[in-house]
Amino acid sequence: MVEILPSLLSANFARLGDDIARMERAGVSMLHVDVMDGHFVPNLTLGPPVVKSIRKVTKLTLDVHLMITAADRYAPVFIEAGADQVSVHQEACPHLDRTLRMIQSEGALAGVVINPSTPVSALEEVLELADYVLVMSVNPGFGGQQFLRHTLRKVEALAARRRSSGATFRIEMDGGLGPENIADAVRAGCDWAVAGSSIFGSEDPETTVKRMQQLAREATAVRA
């Protein structure tokens, strides 16, 4: 089943608990949390205390996306704060194999992320190890950017690779997704679709989530 993951980056940070409750009512099972350090990406967001506070108000799976250079240092801190799964950028991790194993040994699922300019081939040696692969469909750093269509080919390549190898990693997409292109992402092979501004920037976020879930279900039927 394809999951829609609301990205809290576009939620109202002064009323985060309310926005999370709305997403629970809409029926999501996972939330996406963006961590930015002002070095790896030109923006700053939130740290472990915020994840700890989120953890206290929801049982939903917390998917923490680290856009930071010091991933090895902070991944365990975010897991301790309540992250269920943590993804790190291939571009930021020189010892990717070690980093992914460390995340798993700390008790979380380990994901690896690639920027729009990074080829799938850069992941060749970690596809058996990673629990999930996150294909960025915008350049990371900000919500509300335009979807980069060439990234669909990378999702297709990963899905083909998964079929032929018997690997079990899930495929996540992040950036510029909304009702207009969710079907394209799902048909390409996306299992987890992150969406921020298209949900929280819409008039009725709950309805938008439900609409995206429905469109994803229909596209899954075509895929199968």
Q: Which stretch binds ligand DX5 (CB under 6 A): 97-105, 151-159, 196-204, 210-218?
A: 196-204
CA distances from residue 141 to 68, 175, 188, 208 in whole angstroms, order as listed: 10, 10, 24, 23
CA angle 178, 181, 184 (to 5 degrees): 140
Looking at the Cβ atoms of 36 and 120, the one nearer to ligand DX5 is 36
For ligand DX5, the binding residue among 174, 193, 205, 209 (CB under 6 A) is 174
Looking at the Cβ atoms of 161 and 177, the one nearer to ligand DX5 is 177
- Rounded-to-5 percentages of helix, strand, coil across the chain: 45, 20, 35
CA distances from residue 206 to 22, 183, 185, 198, 201 in whole angstroms, order as listed: 6, 19, 21, 11, 11
Interface map 90-129 toward ligand DX5 (x if CB under 6 A): ----------------------------------------
Catalytic (active site) residue 34: yes
Looking at the Cβ atoms of 8 and 120, the one nearer to Zn ion is 8
Question: Dihedral, CA atoms, 171, 210, 199, 175, nearest 10 degrees?
Answer: 20
For Zn ion, the binding residue among 174, 185, 208, 211 (CB under 5 A) is 174
Count each helix (H run) and each strand (E run) in the chain, helices first: 8, 8
Looking at the Cβ atoms of 113 and 120, the one nearer to Zn ion is 113
Interface map 181-200 toward Zn ion (x if CB under 5 A): --------------------
Q: Which residues are catalytic?
A: 34, 174
Note the residues at the interface with ligand DX5 (CB under 6 A).
7, 9-10, 32, 34, 65, 138, 140-145, 174-177, 194-198
